[in-house]
Homo-oligomer: A and B are copies of this chain.
């Protein structure tokens, strides 16, 4: 499948004022995505390095993401009112409106991880307790990055890859839960630390889910088909006309 925003089409698009607005909104959402990615990375860093000061910065910076959500949402509503887009342009605006909601919620998860970092920094956890969480964080970070990249280029194939990858992230998450339960049962004094790790792992797993949501909007935009709640195998069969 070709990328939707290929060079010629992008040029043609830019030729009109309305399309310029769509391109603007498209780049604003990518800027928001970049900020959200950074918040997730710093949230995880503050957790692993037990850095309460960094965690506080992550919590404070969440407001930047919130205000981007409100202003892009407002811009989309204005475009709907003034330009009354149809077909593919309408689908783009709808995809943007849904994507910013997920990005804002990913920001909330980064903030939650930072809160756990503050809590953990007072409990002196062992560095090796984070090995698997770090692994999950890297994995989910790549999923989020690839989802934003798929959105940037409206690349359906890449969007499918991210959605498929979520199974692996879920398995990693489940394994962290089992591991932490074992630790807790072996040494009840470790319960508070293990719980912070479990809640943080849950936040990372949810970030992976939301990266998948963004990919589903990319597929909806490009294909004009809402694939939420449909199995991937079925969607791919439909695509091939089977």
Interface residue ranges, A against B (CB under 8 Å): 63, 66-67, 69-70, 73-74, 77, 80-81, 84, 86-87, 90-91, 94, 97-98, 101, 181, 184-185, 188-189, 191-192, 195, 226, 228-229
Q: How many copies does the complex hold?
A: 2
| A228 and B66 alpha carbons, distance in the complex (Å) | 8
> In the complex, what residues of B have CB within 8 A of residue A97's CB?
94, 97
Complex contact A188–B195 (CB within 8 A): no
> In the complex, what residues of B have CB within 8 A of residue A91's CB?
77
| A135 and B96 alpha carbons, distance in the complex (Å) | 39
Whether A74 touches B185, Cβ cut-off 8 Å, given contacts A81-B90, A86-B81, A90-B80, is: no
B69, B77, B87: the one within 8 Å of A228 (CB): B69
Whether A94 touches B77, Cβ cut-off 8 Å, given contacts A84-B84, A185-B188, A185-B191, is: yes
Whether A228 touches B181, Cβ cut-off 8 Å, given contacts A87-B81, A90-B80, A94-B77, is: no
| A69 and B216 alpha carbons, distance in the complex (Å) | 14
| A97 and B229 alpha carbons, distance in the complex (Å) | 17
Q: Knowing that A77-B90, A81-B86, A184-B191 are A-B contacts, what are 9 other residue pairs whose CB atoms are under 8 Å apart, sorted by A's residue number?
A: A67-B229, A69-B229, A70-B226, A77-B91, A94-B97, A181-B192, A185-B189, A188-B188, A191-B191
Complex contact A228–B90 (CB within 8 A): no
> In the complex, what residues of B have CB within 8 A of residue A69's CB?
228-229
B77, B101, B229: the one within 8 Å of A101 (CB): B101
| A66 and B69 alpha carbons, distance in the complex (Å) | 25
Residue of B nearest to A84 (CB): B84
Complex contact A70–B229 (CB within 8 A): yes
Residue of B nearest to A65 (CB): B229
Residue of B nearest to A73 (CB): B226
